[in-house]
Structure 1
């Protein structure tokens, strides 16, 4: 079933920032072909209640972002490429984009995609990355997990090649996270003072005073939607929430499960250490195109498909979901991702999160993650860049998807 709280949305033409030919990204689409759609607050912001978070009781949930709520890849990427197209039109010289974990990793990647195939892209992370020896660490406001870090080596290599750096988050409310990060970066990279620095977001709730505070530090703000910085604490207090559920008992006959595949592949490039976005897209589509190809038998046609990313790993799954949707072989394709964020569950019509389940993290044994608004699907593709040794996490998510009717489950390692 689908959430009753989701409003009907207008469909916009997708701006493709690259051309795929033989699983290769050929070149950027001219900026004049971008779709500069306008989005309303109703389209981009639903209010949810955080579960046991005393820093801020409410959470802004974007139904088009592809994180907490399942979304058509087309609708998600149209919105993200609209932001990217606007930034590309104003800052075409940009060769470095930084995305914030965990919710903005795909947003930042799409912005980099819109800048052209040669743009470097790097994300902050909360994960352990053994190949990185030097980190820039900073604190994130409001989050349940405040510590973030950025690979110093990856950032340094890309910084040399650009005159403009774009930092991308899903929401800017006070700008404290950006200030914290910028101060840390400038201590290690004083040459950043000579660069143009842009803070980009889907939603900007900052006051004029806070925008000026960032401007005084040399940072320009750009967004898809500017709204007032309202405290929604009282608004969400009306919702009687519960926590996410434990995994349901497996009540399906195993004979009804046609097949489950586990694709074990060597890990490729990682945005946590820095990638050239065109090479990364090529890598994803070339190594995993056998699922989305026209003659693939792994996902039977005429099915309802869900593609699920894992925590910080979202963009690769979104690309694969887009290819599946564009094939026209399936009744529907949706995309969303697991998350560290504990969100309250409520079945009220005007509340966006109507179910949720606790799952073991793909990245750290014993760490709890969540999957929200799960519906019934015929087939599922799980896209992750986690190490292959945490089979308990795979087994848990596979069991949950089987409970919701999935007959084919593919696990892809990027």
Structure 2
């Protein structure tokens, strides 16, 4: 992960004996450079591989987040063209960006921001963590239509299908395309996730979608692939069963070695460390300002219902003017700015953060998003999740899950990690009184907040 300090997996390795082992690096970087480790608050899985280029748990330069997604998409494009999926010169740029070399993240993004050739495909990203990653990979294909799964029920919309993510904290996924025929076209289907740990999520998805609309070719794309040999054999057997090609593309491979009894040991650590979150002083109120971005009418605010190449071209024209609105609303002298998206609403906040970083070259802009996944926080440089904020859900979730989290936003015991302005971006369904009384109120104790809500496109 980025920077030159301790590897943010040392704490877990020492306390639980969990070890990551590097494998091949098609993206030019090793598994240990892309990920750190944390402990899940989940009795089904002990550890969490924490990506430094995902924009979920760790605030990161938005250009490396988008650039890594574009690179993954470029490897997919090469594979679909029948060529070897390796990063070539882009791998060195990604490695330098992870190392913190100034200008490398922007250079990686700039080299990949224009597709190297249009490829017709359907790209499916997984909620919630991979919604922006999948969208970025679709960007690199040029001609792809993008859709991400969702855990949000939309009244009046009949799901195309659904599937389960067995090990996740929230397991159910829905597909809600506004035009179901997009999933029926005879083109390759690309499934994008941040991590392939066992491959079961992709396995379940392929079974479900192939039953509805069989096709000849699938591509599984992820930032890291840590499947064991038995999992790889299971996927090869599925390809034979479906009579379809299943290619796998990743930036880095390897494995995670878990000692016996690790689940019980992890739960013991959670019990020991619980209750150590830093107390928030709610008497502090840095204030908030709400701005309108002038979102283009009819443009989808993400891929929940589908996002076409024409939508992408339209968005590209609008990013700089909207970023200028955000820049003008920042407090004078803001030098460290966080752009914070919310759960599945990742891609547009990522792109606006990227445009803001381009517009303010002498300002440090970082990007991350909130999540529904509970993870243990330990304020130690050798641990990937240093701090957490807890607040109520603000989008009226039908599953009754009430708590949400934002990680590494609070600086904890290291004042150098503090942000002096936060841009909070939500879609209209998340713009509720619970947002104002919950997440917004918490963020206002840390820094001045600029809030913008985007109108949601309906299916």
* TM-score range relative to shorter protein: 0.7 to 0.9
1:166 matched to 2:190: yes
| Residue among 134, 137, 160 paired with 2:159 | 134
CA contact (8 A) 1:267 1:385 kept: no
| Residue among 351, 368, 391 paired with 2:403 | 368
Q: Give SS of 1:227's match.
A: strand
Using the TM superposition, give the Cα deviation of residue 309 of structure 1 relative to its aligned residue in structure 2, in angstroms.
0.7
Using the TM superposition, give the Cα deviation of residue 294 of structure 1 relative to its aligned residue in structure 2, in angstroms.
8.6
C-alpha offsets along residues 107-159 of structure 1, whole Å, 9 cap, x if unaligned?
1001100000x310001111112242133121102101111121366453244
Alignment RMSD (CA, Å): 3.0
Partner of 2:147: 122
Q: Give SS of 2:234's match.
A: helix
Partner of 2:111: none
CA contact (8 A) 2:159 2:174 kept: no
Q: Which piece of structure 1 moves more, 387-396 or 106-115?
A: 387-396
| Unmatched tracts of structure 1, length 5 or more | 9-35
CA distance in 1, matches of 2:310, 2:380: 43
CA contact (8 A) 2:27 2:71 kept: yes
Higher helix share: 2
1:393 matched to 2:435: yes
Partner of 2:90: none
CA contact (8 A) 1:381 1:412 kept: no
Q: 1:201 to 1:123 in 2, by over 3 A?
A: same
Partner of 2:36: 46
Q: Give SS of 2:391's match.
A: strand
C-alpha offsets along residues 321-380 of structure 1, whole Å, 9 cap, x if unaligned?
000111135421010000000000112331111111111223226621100111332222
Q: 1:99 to 1:388 in 2, by over 3 A?
A: closer
Using the TM superposition, give the Cα deviation of residue 5 of structure 1 relative to its aligned residue in structure 2, in angstroms.
6.7
CA contact (8 A) 2:342 2:426 kept: yes
Q: Give SS of 1:43's match.
A: helix
1:221 matched to 2:248: yes
C-alpha offsets along residues 263-287 of structure 1, whole Å, 9 cap, x if unaligned?
386774141111104514623762x
| Residue among 372, 375, 381 paired with 1:340 | 372
Q: 1:295 to 1:152 in 2, by over 3 A?
A: closer
CA contact (8 A) 1:362 1:386 kept: no
1:378 matched to 2:420: yes
Using the TM superposition, give the Cα deviation of residue 391 of structure 1 relative to its aligned residue in structure 2, in angstroms.
2.2
Q: Tell me the matched-pair count.
A: 375
1:81 matched to 2:70: yes
CA distance in 2, matches of 1:98, 1:39: 24
When normalised by structure 1's length, the TM-score is 0.81
CA distance in 2, matches of 1:90, 1:334: 32
1:187 matched to 2:211: yes
C-alpha offsets along residues 60-79 of structure 1, whole Å, 9 cap, x if unaligned?
11122110111111222222
Q: Give SS of 1:81's match.
A: helix
Partner of 2:108: none
When normalised by structure 2's length, the TM-score is 0.74
CA contact (8 A) 2:27 2:250 kept: no
CA contact (8 A) 2:7 2:36 kept: no
| Residue among 45, 66, 71 paired with 1:56 | 45
Q: Give SS of 1:83's match.
A: helix
